[in-house]
A and B are shown apart, each in its own frame.
Chain A
């Protein structure tokens, strides 16, 4: 089975694998990054009190942030690879939307965010949206 909107007629399972790799790396990176920013605090506030250099120093000295950047870089190269095989209008919305759902779950578990009914409804609508995008 090939996808009609892939430049090289890429197999559907291969396409799913490429998108899954982006989503997994991206979710790990985003949760680590958000955790780091949560512990650092409001960057605008730091910049106002101690200057831009202090704000940058506070960010790049966080090991959690650096771990997040590593996984986001992995996601980036997975995205480049996928874009070489699949259409942008599939890869970008599918990976971004699935990441939204996996992030909602990860944010509730790891960041203890209050993911209320609005955010879960959004996750369901986004899943339906992804289904339509992929068919």
Chain B
């Protein structure tokens, strides 16, 4: 496995991956908890929820997440990119505690800390698996 160094722009994209997902999830939670309880018997009510303001903003943020996530996947391993999103757990916990006023116990803070430590292990490693013989990618075909 060779060490592929990331450029500042690539770090920025990973930052967007980590930031947009928790912000989007928080907006979704804010929107969904203000709705009456949904059941599987009325799936249309789930679709209607998409057009409420908080959920719409959440979806826009998640689209931003998806665009940066796809870009990151085009130059790094899935097992490298995904942990970047786990840093978002810390952001979610902080938002849930201070914005949504959800109680977070000491045990759950320990859980979040363990996840963060785990993520740091991955972040120290290489970003991409080196493959011996690369087949021509669509990038090459498009460039021709």
Interface residues of A, Cβ cutoff 8 Å to B: 5, 7-8, 30-31, 33-34, 37-46, 49-50, 54, 58-59, 62, 72, 76-77, 79-81, 83-85, 87-89, 91-93, 96-97, 99-100, 103-104, 107-108, 111-116, 118-119, 121-126, 128-135
Instruction: Convert B69-82 into 0s and 1s, putting 1 for each residue whose CB lies closer than 8 angstroms to a CB of A.
Output: 01101110111011
* Among candidates B25, B29, B100, B108, residue contacting A132 with C-beta atoms closer than 8 Å: B108
Query: Which chain B residues in 101-144 approach chain A with CB under 8 Å?
Result: 102-104, 107-108, 110-115, 117-119, 121-122, 124-125, 129-131, 135, 137-140, 142-143
CB-based nearest B residue for A104: B79
**Residue among B21, B40, B62, B75 with the most chain A CB within 10 A?**
B75
Output the least CB separation between A64 and chain B (Å): 11
Per the bound structure, the CA–CA distance linking A128 and B110 in Å amounts to 9
Determine whether B35 belongs to the interface, using a CB cutoff of 8 Å to chain A. Answer: yes
Determine whether B41 belongs to the interface, using a CB cutoff of 8 Å to chain A. Answer: no
* Among candidates B22, B119, B125, B142, residue contacting A116 with C-beta atoms closer than 8 Å: B125
Jot down 21 A-B pairs with beta carbons below 8 A, ordered by A: A37-B73, A41-B74, A44-B74, A49-B139, A77-B46, A79-B25, A80-B32, A80-B55, A81-B38, A83-B25, A83-B33, A88-B92, A89-B96, A108-B79, A115-B79, A121-B118, A121-B121, A126-B118, A129-B110, A132-B107, A132-B110
